[in-house]
Every structure is written in structure tokens, then in C-alpha cells.
Amino acid sequence: MNFVATLNEVAAKNLRVLEEQIKQSIAEDPFIFEACEPLIRGGKRLRPMLFLLCANSKVDCPPEKTMPLAVALELIHTASLVHDDIIDTSKKRRGVETANSKYGAQIAVLVGDYLFAKAFQLVAENNYGAQVQLILSKLVKNLCVGEIMQDRSLFEVPTLTEYYTRINLKTAVFLSSCCRLGAIVANMDKREVENLTAYGSGLGLAFQIIDDLLDFFGDEKITGKPRGGDLKSGVITLPVIHALETSDKSCELKKIVTTGGDVDAAIKIILDTNAVDYCRTRAEAHIDSARVNLPFTLKTSVALALEQIADFVVDRTR
């Protein structure tokens, strides 16, 4: 289930407006729309929804002030996925054919670049100011740094610190930036901004850990991605790191994951350890940390929605 279905009616109203404006943002060119719409159609909208909730955390913020930035955040996320699929040579994303599979890598690169450019155009046209532009610029930079780190260490076993550095750059910084931007647009005080940023960071770490579990153990019909895709690509994540430390078949597992061997055999070894429970426990600890940082000054409806998102992150199946 899309997490938005569990949120309150205020969030649902925001989502309806958001969906329409996302489509409008890519409608100026028929081919661009054709290439992007299937990917955009399947998104969870977690990032713009976090921004919108934080932007409306005390009083209702006019849609004309929030929606362009919410759309920009979703476009940046989609652009990063298009580029990720090129790097990983992925054939499917969200259950549909990827842009690189359908049109080739050259067109897909340009589609991703277009989405990045369109996002920053929306921000510039709506006069969000230098602070917002700086946060978004750092966000995209960190996405790139995280991806470069990952690509340079394929088929290598990272330390726990290296793993956390990577998922912080690739996921946690994005979610925390969405919350920070919302708090800034809402004119919250410095402490509230930092608290919501910390909430987003904890949420992001938990989200990525669960994502790494789903890569191994999720239902392909639900996730829309082939099982073991990260491992096949040489990306070694937390379940593998823990299994390598605890399994009596760690030597066999290490050989598989560092040479691109039998993914099914690797999954069996991982399942024979407590890696799933270990990863869920870590994710839940990050969610607990996120919840602790929610300011007491939030509107009840917003606080409830942010709590529901935290529940969704650890319970999700896609």
C-alpha cells in the first residue's frame, strides 16, 4: 500500500494537487512526458509529502508557495532514479521498463538531466531564495558523491561506517533536506528546523536499511524490481555485512558477493543468520530516534502524519 493512503485528509488533498502539478511540469514536450510519466506515476511521493507536511506544520501554507518546491523535490528524486538505472543497467523500475532499457543510455542520461534542470527552473521561477537553492544544490551533490562512492566500491565489502556514510549521502540527506526545506518555508525557529531535519535523517537511514532488506526478501510483484538486484550489481549492503560477520559460511558468502556469484545461494546463507532481525532492529532504532526529534509545537494532524510515515517506513513491502 502507498503510505499516503494511510495519511489524513489534509495530506491527501495536498497529494491530489501535487500529482497534477508533477504531470504539468513534464508536459511541455510529448517525448519527455512519454519517457518520464511511467516512472513518475509509480512513486510513493515520500519526499514531497515530507516537505509539504513540514511546510504546513504550524499554519496552512498557500499551495502556490509550497507546490513548486514539492514538485522540484520529486523531479530531483526521479532524475536520480533514471541515472541510477543507467549505472546499474536496470531493466525495470516500479514494475515498468526503465528509460535506459526503452530508449538507450544516451537518451536516458538526457532525460535525467532534463528533470534536474526542470527542478531548478521551478525553484528559480518561484523565488525561493539563496538558502533553498543552496540546500538543493548540496542535496544533488551528495547524491552524486554517494553514487560515486558506491560505484567505486562494487564487489567490495564495506565497513559498517562506510555503509552508513553511503546511505546517509544517498538517502538520509534527501529526506532530511525535505524536512528542513519545509521547516524553513514555514518560518520555524532554528531549533524546530534542526529537530525536523534530524527526524528526516533518522527516517532516511531506516528507509534505506529496509530497502536493502527488500532487495533480498521482497516480493518482486510488489517491489517492481528483481530480487537480489543490488547483489548482482556488486552493491553490498547491511544484511550481507552482518551475515559475513556471523555466518559459519562467511567464506563462501564472501566469495559469492565479491565475484558476482549465485545470488540465490547467497540469500540462503543470509537467511540462515539473524540478518533480517538485526537489520529491522537497526531500522527501528533509527525510527525511534526520528520520533524523539518531532517538535511538540507541530499541529496535531501533521504530527500524526509524520508518526504514520515513520510506521510505514519500517512496515513497508515496497
- Per residue in 157-170, pLDDT (tens digit) is 999 999 999 999 99
Point out the residues of the chain with pLDDT beneath 70. Answer: 1-12, 42, 218-226, 317-318
- So what's the pLDDT on residue 88? 80
- So what's the pLDDT on residue 10? 54
- So what's the pLDDT on residue 3? 54
**d(C-alpha 270, C-alpha 249), whole Å:** 9
**d(C-alpha 76, C-alpha 240), whole Å:** 29
Distances (CA, A) of 242 to 65, 160, 162, 178: 45, 9, 14, 30
- Per residue in 12-22, pLDDT (tens digit) is 677 888 888 99
**d(C-alpha 121, C-alpha 111), whole Å:** 15
- So what's the pLDDT on residue 318? 63
- So what's the pLDDT on residue 1? 41
| CATH class of domain segment(s) 3-315 | mainly alpha
- So what's the pLDDT on residue 39? 78
Q: Which amino acid is at 205?
A: L
C-alpha cell at 94: 516500479
